[in-house]
Amino acid sequence: MKVGEFHLHCSIKQLVDEKLELTFSVLSNHKLIQESIIKVDLAMVTVKLRVKIAALGHRH
């Protein structure tokens, strides 16, 4: 859950500039999330990250 929040705190530009790689790395474990992120725009990636990661946290 902390990972998701950390990404949210970072700006969209920063996320795309250097955090994007880390983001995809973490999402690599979850195919469902990865697919969703690829489909949505970079600007929406932040929102999707929060929702998806939050759901996983509650689920786990």
Distance CA 60, CA 44 (A): 24
Mean pLDDT value of segment 31-50: 54
**Of 60, 41, 38, 40, nearest in space to 3 by CA:** 60
Q: What is the pTM of this model?
A: 0.17
Record the tokens describing residue 8, joined without a space: 């949210």
Q: Which of residues 2 and 33 earns the better pLDDT score? A: 33
pLDDT in tens, 5-23: 444 444 556 555 565 555 5
From CA 5, how far away is CA 52, in angstroms rounded?
12
Amino acid at 42: L
